[in-house]
Amino acid sequence: MQFIIVTGVSGSGKSSAMNVLEDIGYFCIDNMPPQLIPKFAELCGDNSAIDKVAIVVDIRGGELFLQFWENVKEMRANGMDVKILFIYADKDVIRRRYKETRRKHPLYDISGGDLDKAIDSEFEILMPIRENSDYYIDSSLTSTAKFKENMMKMFLENVSKSMVISCLSFGFKYGVPDEADLMFDVRFLPNPFYVAELKHKTGEDSEVRDYVMDSELSVQFRDKLFDMVDFLVPQYISEGKSQLVIAFGCTGGRHRSVTFAEMMNDHLKEKGYNTHVLHRDSQK
C-alpha cells in the first residue's frame, strides 16, 4: 500500500495537493490527528480495496502535532512504507495569501493576533520535518497548473493517465451535451439510417462502422481529427486538466456519432490515455 502523509506550511497548498492525489486515485483524508495515523493505516492495510492513501497532518492538530515523528517512526517500525510530502512557500508569500483570503492562521490566537509571529512559530516547528521529508514542493512562485504537473510527475508513473477522457456520442435532435469540451458535428458523413439493413443497428456494429468509413471524406476527416486531438490532449494534460469530454453528434445519435466516438476511444487508448466511451442516445 502506498501511504503518503501530506504536511507543510499553512497556506502553502496542501489542499491543492490532496485534490491532485484524489484525482489520480488516492483515498484522501484531511486533518487527521497524528495519534490516529498508525491505527488508520492498519485498517487500510486490512482492506484490499485500498492501495493508495494520502492524509493531511499539520499544525491544526495543535499539541498533538508535536508527536508527528513518533507516530511516523511507529508506522515504519511496523514495516509500513510511509512517505512524507512537504508543501512549502516563502513567508512573504504565506503572509500575502492570508491577507488576500482573510483566513485565520491556525496559530493566530495563541500568537496574540500577530500574523507574522504565527507564521514564524509554525516555521520553527515545521523545518525539522521539511529537512527529513521524502518529497518536497515549493509553491511560492508556482502556478496552479505547474503545481499539479509537479505532483503528477511525483506520484503518477504514467502522466498520460492523469486525465480521464470521455468519448461521447449524442443526437442533435435530443440536445447538445453541456459537458462537452470538444464537439464535432458528423452529420455531413454518409448516413446508415437510410440503409434498411443498417437502420436499426448502431455504430457499435461493424457493419455500420464499415458503411460510414467507406468514404474518402470520412477517412480524411478521421485522419485530420486524430492529428488534431493528438496535438491537443498533451496540452490539456500540461495545463492540469483532469477530465476531457470529446463529443460527436449526428442527427439521432445512433450511427455516425457512435462510430466516431468508438474510433476515438480506441485511438486514444492505444496511445496510453485513460479513456472510456459513452453513447448517450444510441438506444433512443
Rounded to the nearest angstrom, the gap between the alpha carbon of residue 222 and the centroid of all alpha carbons in its chain is 28
Question: Of 157, 174, 204, which residue is a domain's last?
Answer: 157
Q: Which pLDDT value is given to residue 158?
A: 65
Domain co-membership, 227 together with 169: yes
By residue range, what is the domain housing residue 138?
2-157
Domain count, the chain: 2
- In this predicted model, what pLDDT tens digit does every residue of 189-219 receive, in sequence order? 999 999 999 999 999 999 999 999 999 999 9
DSSP per position, 105-168 = PTTTTTTTT-HHHHHHHHHHHHHHHHHT-SEEEE-TT--HHHHHHHHHHHH-S-GGGGSEEEEE
Domain co-membership, 7 together with 144: yes
Domain co-membership, 200 together with 256: yes
* 195 occurs within a structural domain: yes
* 284 occurs within a structural domain: no
- In this predicted model, what pLDDT tens digit does every residue of 260-277 receive, in sequence order? 999 999 999 999 998 989
Going residue by residue through the chain, which has 284 residues, state the pLDDT in tens, using 9 for 90 and above: 789 999 999 999 999 999 999 988 899 999 888 788 888 888 887 887 888 899 999 998 887 788 888 888 888 888 888 889 999 999 999 999 998 988 899 999 999 999 999 999 999 999 888 888 888 888 987 788 778 877 887 887 666 676 889 999 999 999 998 889 999 999 999 999 999 999 999 999 999 999 999 999 999 999 999 999 999 999 988 877 778 999 999 999 999 999 999 999 999 999 999 898 999 899 88
* 72 occurs within a structural domain: yes
Question: 64: number of CA atoms within 13 Å, CB side?
Answer: 11
Prediction pTM value: 0.61
